[in-house]
């Protein structure tokens, strides 16, 4: 019975202590990362604003890769993909 009172009191003291410490010493950053700054496939987290730039760069790289494939023949593309993964 006494252990319960000690545990509850300890929890309350630690909770309010952490809340007070967080308000005084922590900067005013949010606890959650904006969805545009996170890549859920690779678990990468970028700085604020870098997510959009990274996605745009990836989109341009994919577009240039598709354009390169369309300009080459199918067999040549297949062979270059094999060479890329083997060597």
Per DSSP, the residues of the chain read -HHHHHHHHHHHHHHHHHHHHHHHHS-S--SS--GGGEETTTTEEPPTTHHHHHHHHHHHHHHHHHHHHHHS-HHHHHHHHHHHHH-
Mean pLDDT, rounded, for 9-23: 93
What letters, b where the CB count within 10 A reaches 16 and e where it falls short, cover 8-24?
eeeeeeeeeeeeeeeee
pLDDT for the residue numbered 12: 97
Instruction: Give the structural domain span for 80.
Output: 2-86
Q: pLDDT tens for residues 62-81?
A: 888 887 776 667 777 777 77
The tally of domains found in the chain comes to: 1
Mean pLDDT, rounded, for 10-36: 84
Whether residue 10 is predicted with pLDDT greater than 80 in this model: the reply is yes
Whether residue 15 is predicted with pLDDT greater than 90 in this model: the reply is yes
Q: pLDDT tens for residues 29-66?
A: 667 778 778 878 787 787 777 888 888 888 899 888 88
- 77, with CB counted inside 10 A (0-12, 13-18, 19+), is middle
User: Global pTM?
Assistant: 0.43
């Amino acid at each position: 019975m006494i252990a319960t009172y000690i545990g509850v009191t300890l929890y309350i003291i630690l909770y309010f202590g952490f809340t007070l410490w967080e308000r005084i010493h922590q900067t005013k950053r949010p606890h959650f990362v904006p969805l545009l700054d996170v890549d859920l496939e690779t678990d990468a987290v970028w700085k604020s604003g870098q997510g959009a730039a990274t996605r745009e760069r990836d989109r341009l790289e994919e577009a240039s890769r598709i354009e390169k494939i369309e300009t080459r023949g199918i067999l040549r593309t297949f062979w270059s993909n094999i060479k890329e993964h083997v060597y």
